[in-house]
Amino acid sequence: MCTMYCPRPVVDTYNERLEITRAPHIDYAQAIPSSYYIDAKACLRVNFETCNLCAQTCTAGAIDFSQKPKNLELEVGAVVLTPGFGRVDESVLEKFGYGRYPDVLTAFEFERLTCASGPTEGHIVRPSDNRPPKKIAFLQCIGSRDETCGNGYCSSVCCMYAIKEASVAKEHEPDLDVSIFFMDVRTMGKGFDDARKRAQEKYGINVIRARVPRVDQVDGRLALTWTTDDGEHHSGIFDMVVLSVGLESPEDAEVISKVADIGLNRYNFCKTRVDSPLSTTREGVYVAGAFQGPKDIPESVTQASGVAAIASELLADARSSQTVSITYPEENKALEEQEPRIGIFVCHCGVNIAGVVDVKAVRDYAASLPGVVLYEDPLYSCSQDALKSIAEKIKENNLNRVVIAACSPRTHEPLFQETLRSVGLNPALVEMANIRDQCAWVHAQEPEAATEKAKDLVRMAAAKARLLSPLEQPTVDVTPGALVLGGGAAGMSAALSIADQGYNVTLIEKSRQLGGNLRRLTWTLDGENAKEVLEDMISRVEEHPGIEVITNSSVESISGYVGNFTSTIATGKKTRLVNHGVTVIATGAREYKPKSYAYGESPRIITQLELEEKLSRGRGFLKNARNIVMIQCVGSRGDDMSHCSRLCCTQAVKNALKLKELKPDANIYILYRDMRTYGFYEDAYREARKKGIIFLRYSPDEKPQVIKQARGIKVRTRDRLLGDDLEIPASLVVLSAGIEPGENQELSKILKAPLTSEGFFLEAHAKLRPVEIAVDGVYLCGLAHGPKSLEESVAQAKAAAAKATIPLAKGKVAVAPIVSRVDQDACIGCGICESLCPFNAIRLSKVGKRKKAQTITASCKGCGICASHCPTIAISMGGFTDEAIMAQIHAFSGRECGEE
């Protein structure tokens, strides 16, 4: 309403300035919080004390112009900086015709064009003539990997988002011709390489390896010229050009740096160290997300959890010192058991529902339903006043069932459940009918039919409400300890964080000493001494009173559920039991053992880690080295393993720079497919080229060959610029062997933790739950999750620690009231439910002589898979009993339950 009446048009910045909105508006329908706000810069009332139209039209009276900006002073123990990333300056984009030619768009603008709720409702059209384009070009690295604009780093995310946007565009318009211009295809995230391959194959997206220098407009179309790495010139005419702009440091980075007194790096991002990626240069001030360096959503979410762990370590003593707990009145069981006395509230939702559905008619209809003693039609049933009034009316009328005909239970059911609890009713006794989404919204053009449907829904809800029964909300005590599997960098970081937060940790390590793969590194990717990082970590773990380290051990079995795990730890032949509340998987991975390139046939053909080990023992072996050849993607990217191992490119560059430093006259060659030195690692790649390290690209169908001869080794590879084979006599061949998953199958079976097709552990959700697995109380970090750098492992370990301490800190695990329940008499112990449960929440146990299924309520998610598969219908779901659902169906067909 406010948006409708506002006379002040403003540019819609959410839709990338492609559309106009009004001063009071909401960015998009699903925005959180889902309320409108007023653009104070444009508002006539705020600036000129005129208008006030919106305040008058708002039926909820929610617009209050008397509010003034306030300065707050908060006393806090830690500060977390998450300002995100900034925009690449428009002057950089102008080089590519942006602003001059209307059909040159940024990828952000293109994203809005492809969005169904965007300015064009998802139709891809050229801004110049509103016609659909036939040929689109994506230009990568705009404002990234470009020293001329001061951004020497790689923005890490643009390759993948360009592929995503190109795929979406092809999905909309299958005949579109889409080309993406890359320098290197940097899709190094977990599962990203597969997604890219699928996109290329499924949609036929052209991948062109070239950097387009400029965009020229010809007769309303866009002309591009480029040179490929074989030296050939090409040109093409396109209808639309999308600039894949990079991630810049936030505009106010310097202000933040001054206010928070923290250091910035040379690109104005927050300065951090490899072994503490979430700490700024000032103690107590932490950072997460793109301000720490360009990164994608999963990594940002991971860092955010990680930073919560650090703040929680710092503030462990103050935990729960300022919390307020809510007390509820005793449940009125006597009232609940009486004949149903139903109260029905039919919500107007302002004009949202009442604009279409005849709310008063629905309310009056509700009065005719059996068992209904109260019927009302609040304007906004979710507003504070209305909730209070609902609570009072429940009391006054001794209601024991409530039906709310309003919006979605997904968003609002907890609110009404809370209201019931506040007056001593079990929260399971409320039922919702969604007459907003299912009537007013989808049938906006047919008000009469919508009203009839609303009556149907209310009748069904009331029928179900009569059969609702109170559900228990049991809580389970939590054993205040964690089991961490794996004593590498990730496992140790997670253990330290959990222990620093005040909980006991048992750290299990398979080998005889802590350290994992970090032990084999000599330098970290940014050149710090890996040994020092390792020794510091080990001494902190060993000295920590809260951590017990058990080496030479492995887990034989883990039973139980979140809050109450019992594990059998085997050390040699001895076994012992450990009780713990949560489990962290940090079992790591290992360097792939090459099967090609004559590995193992000569001491001069080694892997990168072997090179580092040699280097840490001294430089003697380099004495006669003239040519050193490194080969990338050994084992990775379809060689033997399908995934990209993410860090070998940076590792190779790092080691090449080290070799160059020790032996400046040696020629160093790196044979690669795509150099994936993402983020600030790009600096090292540039430095390597400046120092004369030679990079030669090979394609997977023309792999380099390592030829062992009587005297020495030769590497043959194709030089694309010369168009000819090159033979390099090599004194040393270093293979960048990828990262191979460990033997995860057994642990996967023990924990019911799923694995990816490559054999790494699979997280519950890549973006929303990146360090949890589907089974409650089990968390994941480090190389066990997928290839990643030390820095990323440490951040992820902190994140896993943060998630793992949630149940530990709560002390109790609240069980969702809607869980499966097994009727022991009807159960025949077939075990179908146990095998199907994705959460490990139902199991067979001996009851008397026979096996019977039992729900572990603490782990049950209430998905209902077990109930729907039970052959004897022995399993029912609380809140969704068969009787209640049948009653709903009967009510729909107009019959009452039992009237058949």
Partner 1 sequence: MSRIKAICCNYTLSVEPDALKSAGLVPEDVEFERLPCTGRLEVPELLDAFTQGAAAVFVVGCELDKCHNLSGSRRASKRVAQAKKILEELDMDPGLVEMFFAGRGETEPVVEAARLMAARAARAKKAQ
Strands 724-730 and 713-719 turn out to be antiparallel
DSSP for residue 763: P
In contact, 372 and 339? CB cutoff 8 Å: no
3-class SS letters over 166-216: HHHHHHHCCCCEEEEEECCCCCCCCCHHHHHHHHHHHHCCEEEECCCCCEE
Q: Which is nearer to partner 1, 52 or 235 (CB)?
A: 235
* Cα 271 to the center of its chain, rounded Å: 24
Cα separation, 434 vs 458, whole angstroms: 9
Q: Which is nearer to partner 1, 243 or 402 (CB)?
A: 243
H or E stretch covering 874: none
With b for 16 or more beta-carbon neighbours within 10 A and e for fewer, the 325-364 pattern comes to eeeeeeebeebbeeebbbbbbbbbbeebbbebbbbebbbe
Provide the minimum distance between the beta carbon of 214 and partner 1 in the complex, in angstroms, as a whole number. 6
Residue among 687, 799, 876 at smallest CA distance from 302: 799
Provide the minimum distance between the beta carbon of 135 and partner 1 in the complex, in angstroms, as a whole number. 9
Q: Which is nearer to partner 1, 235 or 557 (CB)?
A: 235
Q: Which is nearer to partner 1, 32 or 218 (CB)?
A: 218
H or E stretch covering 141: strand 135-142
CA angle centred on 349, ends 346 and 351, rounded to 5°: 115
In contact, 209 and 257? CB cutoff 8 Å: no
Provide the minimum distance between the beta carbon of 147 and partner 1 in the complex, in angstroms, as a whole number. 22
Provide the minimum distance between the beta carbon of 756 and partner 1 in the complex, in angstroms, as a whole number. 43
Residue among 310, 200, 102, 377 at smallest CA distance from 801: 310
Q: Which is nearer to partner 1, 219 or 317 (CB)?
A: 219
Q: Which is nearer to partner 1, 214 or 626 (CB)?
A: 214
Provide the minimum distance between the beta carbon of 94 and partner 1 in the complex, in angstroms, as a whole number. 14
How many residues make contact with partner 1 (CB under 8 A)?
Answer: 14
Provide the minimum distance between the beta carbon of 236 and partner 1 in the complex, in angstroms, as a whole number. 5
* Spatial CB neighbours of 506, under 8 Å, sequence gap ≥ 6: 481, 482, 483, 484, 547, 548, 550, 569, 578, 580
Cα separation, 496 vs 654, whole angstroms: 29
Residue among 110, 139, 108 at smallest CA distance from 125: 110
Residues making up the chain, counted from first to last: 900
Provide the minimum distance between the beta carbon of 659 and partner 1 in the complex, in angstroms, as a whole number. 41
Of 626-655, binders to partner 1 (CB under 8 A) are: none
Look up residue 145 and give its two tokens. 């990997």
Site string for partner 1, 817-856 (x = CB under 8 A): ----------------------------------------
Give yes or no for a cis peptide into 664 (omega within 30° of 0).
no
Q: Which is nearer to partner 1, 131 or 846 (CB)?
A: 131
In contact, 126 and 239? CB cutoff 8 Å: yes
Cα separation, 358 vs 710, whole angstroms: 93
Q: Which is nearer to partner 1, 216 or 261 (CB)?
A: 216
Of 758-777, binders to partner 1 (CB under 8 A) are: none
Residue among 615, 624, 672 at smallest CA distance from 649: 672
Q: Which is nearer to partner 1, 77 or 231 (CB)?
A: 231
Site string for partner 1, 204-243 (x = CB under 8 A): ----------x-xxxx-x-xxx-------xxxxx------
| Percent of residues in the chain assigned helix, strand, coil, to nearest 5 | 30, 25, 45
Cα separation, 501 vs 581, whole angstroms: 15
| Helix spans in 628-718 (H) | 648-662, 682-690
Q: Which is nearer to partner 1, 208 or 885 (CB)?
A: 208
Q: Which is nearer to partner 1, 237 or 889 (CB)?
A: 237
Q: Which is nearer to partner 1, 181 or 597 (CB)?
A: 181
Q: Which is nearer to partner 1, 34 or 227 (CB)?
A: 227
In contact, 507 and 324? CB cutoff 8 Å: no
Site string for partner 1, 554-583 (x = CB under 8 A): ------------------------------
Look up residue 371 and give its two tokens. 């068992």
Provide the minimum distance between the beta carbon of 225 and partner 1 in the complex, in angstroms, as a whole number. 5
Measured from the Cβ of residue 779, the count of other Cβ atoms closer than 10 Å reads 31
Of 68-97, binders to partner 1 (CB under 8 A) are: none
Provide the minimum distance between the beta carbon of 102 and partner 1 in the complex, in angstroms, as a whole number. 14
Provide the minimum distance between the beta carbon of 96 and partner 1 in the complex, in angstroms, as a whole number. 12
Provide the minimum distance between the beta carbon of 227 and partner 1 in the complex, in angstroms, as a whole number. 11
Q: Which is nearer to partner 1, 214 or 691 (CB)?
A: 214
Check residue 32 for interaction with partner 1 (CB under 8 A). no
Provide the minimum distance between the beta carbon of 218 and partner 1 in the complex, in angstroms, as a whole number. 5
Of 326-385, binders to partner 1 (CB under 8 A) are: none
Site string for partner 1, 163-202 (x = CB under 8 A): ----------------------------------------
Phi, psi angle pair for 162, to nearest 5°: -65, -40
Provide the minimum distance between the beta carbon of 100 and partner 1 in the complex, in angstroms, as a whole number. 11
Provide the minimum distance between the beta carbon of 703 and partner 1 in the complex, in angstroms, as a whole number. 32
Provide the minimum distance between the beta carbon of 203 and partner 1 in the complex, in angstroms, as a whole number. 23
Q: Which is nearer to partner 1, 13 or 235 (CB)?
A: 235
H or E stretch covering 747: helix 745-751
Of 233-292, binders to partner 1 (CB under 8 A) are: 233-237
Phi, psi angle pair for 614, to nearest 5°: -60, -45
Cα separation, 303 vs 278, whole angstroms: 7
Q: Which is nearer to partner 1, 122 or 236 (CB)?
A: 236
Amino acid at the residue 295? K
Provide the minimum distance between the beta carbon of 228 and partner 1 in the complex, in angstroms, as a whole number. 13
Counting DSSP H helices and E strands in the chain, the numbers are 24, 42
Q: Which is nearer to partner 1, 132 or 236 (CB)?
A: 236
| Helix spans in 88-178 (H) | 90-94, 107-113, 158-172
Provide the minimum distance between the beta carbon of 138 and partner 1 in the complex, in angstroms, as a whole number. 18
In contact, 890 and 880? CB cutoff 8 Å: no
Q: Which is nearer to partner 1, 225 or 602 (CB)?
A: 225
Provide the minimum distance between the beta carbon of 132 and partner 1 in the complex, in angstroms, as a whole number. 17
DSSP for residue 151: B
Binding site for partner 1 (CB under 8 A): 214, 216-219, 221, 223-225, 233-237
